[in-house]
Structure formats: C-alpha cells, structure tokens
Amino acid sequence: MRRHTQIHPDQLPLDLTDEQALERIIAARVAERAEAASFLWRFRLVCIETVLMAALVAIAGSILGQPAMMVLRATVLIAVSCFASGLLLIVLSAWSSRLLARWQRWRAS
C-alpha cells in the first residue's frame, strides 16, 4: 500500500513534468560549477608556471656563475611578470567568454 506524504507548506513545489525546464536548470548549474572549477585550475596553472619559470632562471643564473643579487633580481622580475601576464590572460579569457555568451544570446533573440 502506498502512502501519500504530506508536503510542508514552506517547501517550494518541484514540478518534474516539464523535462525541458528541468534540463535547463541542471545545465545551468553544471555550467556554473564548471566555470568556477576552470577558474581555479587556470589559477593553479599560472602559479605552477610562475614557480617553474622563477626556478629555471635561478638555476640558470647560478650555473652560469652570475652574482647572487643579479640572479635574485632577475628571478623576482621573471616571477612577477609571469604571474601578472597569467592573471591578465585569465581575466581576458573570462571577459571574452562573457562577451561571447552575451553576443550569442543577442543573436538568438
């Protein structure tokens, strides 16, 4: 025998009969999560690239026998510029994807 459960009056009704609307809601949530995850992965890659470039400059400078202060200054300069350019690429990528999405919505309407 099947019981009909009572719905709490504060609970929002969930209409599962319209499959297309449900698919749109799910797709929007998945896209939002993927966008947030992609930002974190891009930021991680920029940080890894920055550390690797700084390490390469430091190792090359020390192998070539350059003065320590010059190697340190070059290492810091390379690390800062690599990090800044990576962040600039992340920002420009996010900006262009939003602009493209807005343009596609404009074309669809």
**1 within some domain:** no
The lowest-confidence range among 10-19, 48-57, 75-84 is: 10-19
Q: At what angle do helices 68-108 and 19-63 cross, to 10 degrees?
A: 160
Domain extent for 48: 22-108
- Global pTM reads 0.68
Q: What is the pLDDT of residues 6-15, one digit of tens each?
A: 777 777 766 6
Residue pair 89/103 in contact (Cβ under 8 Å)? The answer is no
How far is Cα 106 from Cα 109, in angstroms, rounded to an integer? Answer: 5
- Banded model confidence at residue 97, pLDDT cuts 50, 70, 90: confident
pLDDT category, 28, cuts 50, 70, 90?
confident
Asked if residue 13 belongs to a domain, the reply is: no
Residue 62 lies in a domain: yes
What is the percent of the chain with per-residue pLDDT over 70, rounded to a whole number?
Answer: 92
Rounded distance, CA 29 to CA 10, Å? 23
> Token digits for 92?
């420009």
Cα–Cα distance measured from residue 39 to residue 45, given in angstroms and rounded to the nearest whole number: 10
Q: Is the residue at 101 inside a domain? A: yes
Q: Which helix (H) or strand (E) holds 53?
A: helix 19-63
Structurally, how many domains does the chain consist of? 1
Q: Is residue 17 part of a domain?
A: no
Half-sphere exposure (CA, 13 Å, Cβ side) for 57?
20
The pLDDT, as a whole number, for residue 3 is 60
Of 41-45, 72-76, 79-83, 97-101, where does mean pLDDT reach its minimum?
A: 97-101
